[in-house]
């Protein structure tokens, strides 16, 4: 079993014997290394040798934890999705509208700061594995649920919020490269808030 894998300490060229990692720690280390690469590198160019070397382990041991390059890539993308959800989580103590504004600002700033990171998650650099799409769907679903809960919306309005997040993503990507100097982060957030208000109002009128 994975937890009983022998993962010997490595004595590198500097002569320092590093602590033996548990299976969980080693997987976490490898995914962290991979995350730094997949945000910039298409899967076909991802070097498993470089990942193993940076971790200080053999290529064969890396493939024990992740049997294929795709398995490793999917694990990294999954970690990326969880990271985005952590960094965009609202403060539940805030009023609903303030929670939405907080989520919006966090997402816009993340896309602006690490545009390649977001594109790697959403577009997957050409990986057709359905699990990559599941990660993206999960991020959108959780983000949608957070807005619905924060604003106390009806279940019938959930599809509107889900579609609105796609608008937010596209607007932030367009604004961030090249950065539009005429629009600040605060103004972009305000614009996206206004778009949500308008969409929800249209939805409510149709239901009357």
Asked whether residue 85 is assigned to any structural domain, the reply reads no
Tokens (6 digits) for 185: 């982060």
**72: in domain:** no
Residue 191 lies in a domain: yes
157 and 101 fall within a common domain:
yes
Q: Do 100 and 199 sit in the same domain of this protein? A: yes
- Listed residues 33, 67, 101: the one ending a domain: 67
Q: Are 54 and 98 contained in the same domain?
A: no
Lowest pLDDT segment from 1-10, 21-30, 190-199? 1-10
Q: Are residues 112 and 194 in the same domain?
A: yes
- Are 119 and 58 part of one and the same domain? no
**pLDDT score at 208:** 73
Question: Same domain, yes or no, for 53 and 98?
Answer: no
- Give the pLDDT band (50/70/90) at residue 115: confident
Both 167 and 113 in one domain: the answer is yes
Domain that holds residue 196: 93-207
- 58 and 157 together in one domain: no
Same domain for 97 and 171, yes or no, is yes
The pLDDT of residue 73: 87
Q: Are residues 110 and 156 in the same domain?
A: yes
Name which residue leads in pLDDT, 90 or 113: 90
Assess contact for 7 and 64: CB atoms under 8 A.
no
Residue 60 lies in a domain: yes
């Amino acid at each position: 079993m994975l937890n009983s894998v022998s993962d010997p300490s490595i004595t590198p060229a500097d002569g320092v014997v590093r602590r033996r990692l548990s299976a969980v720690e080693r997987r976490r280390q490898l995914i962290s290394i991979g995350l730094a690469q997949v945000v910039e590198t298409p899967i076909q160019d991802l070097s498993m040798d470089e990942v193993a070397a940076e971790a200080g382990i053999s290529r064969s041991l890396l493939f024990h934890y992740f049997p294929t390059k795709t398995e490793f890539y999917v694990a990294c993308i999954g970690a990326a999705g969880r990271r985005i959800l952590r960094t965009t989580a609202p403060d539940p103590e805030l009023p609903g509208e303030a929670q939405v504004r907080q989520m919006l600002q966090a997402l816009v700033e993340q896309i602006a700061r690490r545009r390649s990171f977001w594109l790697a998650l959403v577009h997957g650099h050409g990986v057709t594995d359905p699990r990559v799409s599941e990660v993206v769907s999960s991020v959108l679903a959780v983000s949608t649920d957070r807005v619905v809960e924060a604003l106390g919306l009806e279940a019938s309005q959930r599809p509107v919020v889900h579609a609105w997040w796609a608008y937010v993503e596209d607007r932030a990507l367009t604004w961030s490269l090249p950065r539009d100097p005429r629009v600040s982060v605060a103004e972009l957030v305000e614009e996206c808030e206004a778009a949500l208000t308008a969409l929800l109002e249209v939805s409510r009128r149709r239901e009357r």
